[in-house]
Structure 1
């Protein structure tokens, strides 16, 4: 599947806004060099081009960041709370939450280790276990995990600062959280 049209639009937007020819953007544990004039994005760690979906996401983040800045409000919301979140929630639940929940039920310790060690997260207060994960530079999400008991099934909730909705659209938030679930599923 190609994202050529969306990618070209993203490059056009950043080119019109950018005050520099090159930017460095952290995305999860990788760092990307964004070369505006060349329309190229390379992973610094592997010296390979970013996949189209990651390139679009990083460009949208960078565009929003340059245009509006990012000032976290410390108001943590879930996917249901964003524009369009309620209508897309069943697909989000199936594609993002369910795979993480399955790993949490099967490999609790491995999941927490992966989140804290491989994804550079840190344990914070909340739920039975809450891990705060860096996504982009200065942008964090929180994965809240509940073990469950005789009355309630285990549960996973992902929260992010409300300010994130000011710099990237709802669709990109869905992609960001789906990419997290995919990383977890691929690694555990």
Structure 2
């Protein structure tokens, strides 16, 4: 395993490895000058860039982080798409999709050898055994969305609790909160903070349900058993607009925290597109 160090010296180090789902993992702990870690000169490190490779292939690069911790902490990194997709497709090939269809809110179509999975105002076909995913009109989805859908289907069967949590309350969420805010929450506020009614209108057109939260809020179902709430507060001359994205607390059992970052960004972009806005 090879690392690019920013900077080198005595201090606190970041040690990386791949987990079984192909995601990079970092542990943050004391270390001395070494070739095997990223070293920070101070315990409080903000916005340092790293580059990690495994077997001469990139594991994770170009990610800025904020670390405020003593001792050992662990955080998640953006997964390598190719590795993660391959792993998910291999796991998908080993399941019996007709047996998990009901618990995931999907329908198994024997003739197509595919699950039909409702999503917002559309549906996806997930083919077995190769794990390819297309829209209902047979258009292929982007790899990140392919991974997300397979992770949802491969996750355990859960029951919704009706208790809502923010991203920072997910496992490892606080360490990734700033990038999540920039990728999902800030675009939500920028697009709908000055016009909250537009959020509800766009959400309803995607099959969402208006809810009583903030100035305006909508509950979307990107997948049948996975609701997400998007909330905005209107600003005024003194207070800027605000917003948040909430998940049912059962989400902690279903997928990894990184998946929810991808999901939230996807939902905001769908809302923007539905509202006639391009990001």
TM-score, length-scaled by structure 2: 0.61
SS of alignment partner, residue 48 of structure 1: coil
- Partners of 2:266 and 2:97 lie apart in 1 by 29
**Superposition map of 1:132-147 within 5 A:** 132-147=219-234
Contact 2:193 2:243 in 1 (8 A): no
Q: CA deviation at 1:80?
A: 0.8
**Relative contact order: is structure 1 or structure 2 higher (C-alpha 8 Å, sep ≥ 6)?**
1
Q: Residues of 1 paired with 2:237 and 2:194: CA distance? A: 17
The alpha-carbon deviation at position 151 of structure 1 amounts to 4.7
Measured after TM superposition, the shift of residue 82 of structure 1 is 0.6
* 1:22 correspondence with 2:22: no
Q: SS state of the match for residue 135, structure 1?
A: strand
- 1:31 matched to 2:108: no
Residue-by-residue CA offset, 1:121-176 (whole Å, 9 max, x unaligned): 11112212221111101321111221134553211111110111211110001100
**Structure 1: gaps spanning 5 or more residues:** none
Deviations 1:39-94 (CA, angstroms, capped at 9, x unpaired): 322211x2112221111100000000xxx212101110000101111111111111
* Aligned 8 A contact 1:79 1:85 in 2: yes
- Say how many residue pairs are matched: 182
**Larger strand proportion of the pair:** 2
Deviation at 1:106, TM superposition (A): 4.2
Matching residue of 2:267: 180
Alpha-carbon distance in 1 for matches of 2:167, 2:143: 23
Shift of 1:99: 0.9
- Tell me, which stretches of 5 or more residues in structure 2 are unaligned? 1-79, 99-112
| Largest Rg, 1 or 2 | 2
Q: 1:41: which partner in 2? A: 133
In the superposition, the TM-score normalised over structure 1's length comes to 0.87
* 1:73-152 paired onto structure 2 within 5 Å: 73-117=161-205, 119-152=206-239
SS at match of 2:223: coil
Q: Which has the higher helix share?
A: 1
Would you say the 8 A contact 2:196–2:233 is kept in 1? Answer: no
Q: 2: distance between equivalents of 1:115 and 1:93?
A: 20
Could you list the structure 1 runs, at least 4 aligned residues long, displaced by more than 4 angstroms after superposition.
none
Report the Cα distance in structure 2 between the residues aligned to 1:111 and 1:130, rounded to whole angstroms.
7
Q: Look up the match of 1:7.
A: 85
